[in-house]
Chains A and B, each alone.
Chain A
Amino acid sequence: MYTEKRGPARRAWGSGLLGCAVLCLVAGFSACQTGMTSGSGGGGNPPPPTDTTISFCDDGEGTCTPATSFSVASLRDLVINVNWENLSAGNHTQMVEVLQPGGGLYQASQSSFLVSDASQSSLTTKRTLPVAGAWISQRRMTGEWSVRVSLDGKAITSQTVQITP
């Protein structure tokens, strides 16, 4: 729907530019001299990372040992680690969506980071989801949760995690 929608918008604007350009040629108006180009994208999308993993651990335990199942009775924080490999240099935006059992969105978190050069192409981000004392434990929202990760607007991977009664 979005793609379809942008077509006529661009054509309308493009026609507008044509009109403006014609007028510029005739009258040389300074208002039209600036290149008022507008478009989506700023130099093309960077290649996607070749390997991305999501792991989970409990921040309440001194050492963060990855696991795929946690007891709601003892879990303090669900730490979501996203490890990116082979990232291209430049700015990136990561979206982490936490989906509750049944699939509804529980929480979404967006963040950006900079990879300055290829030597820093491996990077791990950390997002902490409060569990103890929060709704997940109070309302016993147990079952299969999932975490969905996207980078620069593209879905990359997802991973499930069990929160057990």
Chain B
Amino acid sequence: MNDRFYYQDQRYGAWRRLLCLGLSLLLAEPMLAREVIAIQSTATQVRGADATINQALPSANSGGAATLTVESNNGASNQRAIVQFDLSLLPNVAIKQALLVMHATASTTNGFPRTYGAYGLTSFFREPDVTWNTRVANLAWNAAGGDIGGTATSTASVAGGIGTSTPVQFDITSDVQNWYNGTPNYGTLIRDQAENSNRDPKTTFGSRNGTAADAPLLDVTFLQNVTNLAAVPGNGTVTVSWAYPAPIGRVNFAENYNGVLILRRANFPVDKGSVPTDTQDPAMCSVIGSGTVVFDNTSLATSFTDDSSDPCGAPTNDTTWFYKVFLRDQKNYYSTQPITNGSVFTEEISGTPSATATNRQNSVWIAATFSTTLAAPSLFPGSIVMAGSQTNLSFGIDAVTGLRKYPPVSLGGPVTGRSPVIDAGDSSLASNVMYVADNDGLVYAIATDTGQILWTVNPTTLTTNGFVGAPSVQVKSFSDSMFTLAHDLLVVGTRNGASTTANRIVGIDGNTGATLWQTIGNAGGVAKMDIISSSPAIDFVNHAVWVTSRSGGATAQPSLWKLNPNTGAVLTTAALGDTDTDPTLSIPGDVLFVANNAGTIFAINPTTAATLKSVAGGDGAIISFPIALGLTSPYTVIFSGQTAVHAMTYDKTANTFTNLWSTTISGPSAPIGFTGGAKVYVGSADGKIHELDAVTGVDGKQRTANTGQPGIVGDPALDTVLSRIYISTNDQRAYGFTFPF
């Protein structure tokens, strides 16, 4: 048990409160579910926050203060309290109830009693930055005083004349459920429901930085998900197995986990809205939404073999079957929650039975991402998979189990690039870190072990400069003495769609988030710069950063930029036409490969940026990036066009491209492979991952993520430690499979 968190019984040590609570429980109906935990904020919880924002001091930040204040004052001096809980203990749960308890330590007397409201905040903020006017960096709230809806999630009455610690409770169940349903957790704002009073009623609450017992507390009732979910296909059978989680919180009397309910669906994952109703036990073979009840167990079974004895119909061979496994308790509460704004994350798995052993396949895990994501997941091989989302979230997924390492990290905007991760042993921050840039222009450093946001910046200080591509990192420990900056350097390009000339490339200090330099198009002697949708290539050999951009539809405007990483100075440019793909360096750094939107592949001299050779791919715009395999020339260059995956060699000495093979793939993603590997992997618009022979291009085997509609598979990522391949899709999920297939 983490000592930063306390059970409610321990928290309320006063005998009178226990007596009060005991009598309440005697009179109350049974609790809702099995586990309850009280999470009390402390200053050391890395994902918690609280602060007071003060209308009279609209630029003052009070993060770190020992108290929080709510005040109603007609002298433009209202005060509001903001609270954000660290829910790290509860990464894989379904919320049944969440009660926010604020501890009032003092209140004035005039104008009381007051009604206070708890509101879910709808914009990202940071405790060190937040004020009445601003929320993070230099970004203002849409409405001064905090971005909230018109209706409080919950209200509570507060008495005047409080002199000792007194709990004030708000039921914020729906907000917390939404945080687990794909809505970012931006915390809760507490305000007086009748502000601008001429009697100046004011209440002081404990904060996470003051007296520990008076800190805000969240009392959560929940069910966990099953663990170790796996599927093993056979001939006309799929065996699904799982384990039961150890309790996290206090176990309620007579509320034990006692089994699972499993829904099944062919070809598609069970729809997000297809969930059993709490307190009801559906009949076998009954249909719940898009799923059929194929297993209804209340005796702690740990596996289920779906075969010809299944009264609902055996799983037919060569069809992919999806299973959604709901953990249940003795009163038939399930590991799910209401669908108000997105998917749910109840554990899922898939298997494809077949008469032929080699045709059998299964996912090793499926994880919810809540929105379309087609970027390759980032990963620490063997440990953690990081996936961004377009619901302003970043997920840390256990590479082995597919369970969340921690609740998703809430960010300010959608994340669409493949965010780089740097190991603690290499990072100048000396921690496992991921750098994220979002569509709304913010850049973040996130500790991947905990989900803690280490810093957030708006590097261009503007709101028009969003980021679609991810940053790239010049890791100082990998660099020679020509790299003179003190820490790792992030480089990222803006995508301001309204401008074809004034986009910019930004250099950011990896330790502090400080903007070190900006290279701004059409300013200071820099050529016009169109939108940048790609991630830069860091050239450790030639001491440069390479960035691709569009060219304003013109032939003369640069679309390849070579910068000095120390200063951002433009070293040279090339006009290759509109280019949305990432540039790719050969492993020795002697050739740069660039693929433009017209489908032309360029071999570039990385010293001069001159084109050595170009060749028409002949298959429309290239997807995401080409890959270049081989330790020496000739290199194998593999790329996806609109209808196929193509491979060619580039011989630097002869300066020639030679076609190797082309394999038709429906709507391919970028390919992925590695030097010396026998296979190349590519996602497809047919819902599958295709395994191609690296030498011949033969499409030998596939793995099915989701053949339904939608079923677009994004760029894959390979984990060579676990021999697993990870992909995200447009069906709001990420998948893991083993490779080779």
State the A residues within 8 Å of B (CB): 1-2, 4-6, 8-9, 11-13, 15-20, 22-24, 27, 29-46, 59-60, 76-77, 88, 90-93, 95, 100-114, 128, 130, 132-135, 137-141, 152-153
Contacts and interface: CB of A to CB of B under 8 A. Distances in A.
A38 B710 contact: no
Given A38-B156, A109-B414, A138-B624, 14 more contacts: A9-B173, A11-B29, A16-B21, A23-B19, A31-B17, A33-B166, A42-B155, A76-B531, A105-B342, A112-B148, A130-B495, A132-B531, A133-B468, A152-B149
8 contacts: A15-B27, A30-B164, A31-B166, A33-B159, A41-B152, A42-B155, A45-B151, A104-B732
Contacts of B154: 38-42
B730 A104 contact: yes
Nearest to A29: B16
A49 to B, nearest CB: 12
B26 A34 contact: no
Interface in B442-463: none
A41 B150 CA distance: 10
Contact of A134 (B32, B149, B371, B533): B533
B171 A38 contact: yes
Contact of A139 (B164, B371, B550, B667): B667
Contacts of A31: 14, 16-17, 20, 166-167
Given A19-B28, A104-B732, A153-B149, A77 B497 contact: yes
Interface stretch (B96-104, B239-247, B305-313): B96-104
Interface residues of B, number: 100
Contact of B732 (A91, A105, A110, A137): A105
B52 interface: no
Contacts of B156: 35-38
A107 B414 contact: yes
Contacts, number: 260
Contact of B151 (A11, A32, A46, A128): A46
Given A42-B117, A95-B341, A112 B730 contact: no
Contacts of A100: 372, 710, 730
Given A9-B173, A32-B20, A108-B371, A42 B466 contact: no
Contacts of B531: 76, 132-133
Contacts of B590: none
A102 B24 contact: no
Nearest to B336: A1
Contact of B157 (A4, A22, A34): A34
B25 A16 contact: yes
Nearest to A133: B533
B709 interface: yes
Contact of B32 (A9, A17, A106, A141): A9
B498 A77 contact: yes
A51 B35 CA distance: 46
B17 to A, nearest CB: 5
Contacts of B532: 133
Contact of B142 (A1, A9, A76, A113): A113
Contacts of B184: 110
Report, nearest first, the 9 A-B pairs whose CB atoms are least far apart.
Answer: A42-B152, A133-B533, A35-B157, A16-B24, A114-B143, A93-B149, A2-B338, A77-B497, A133-B580
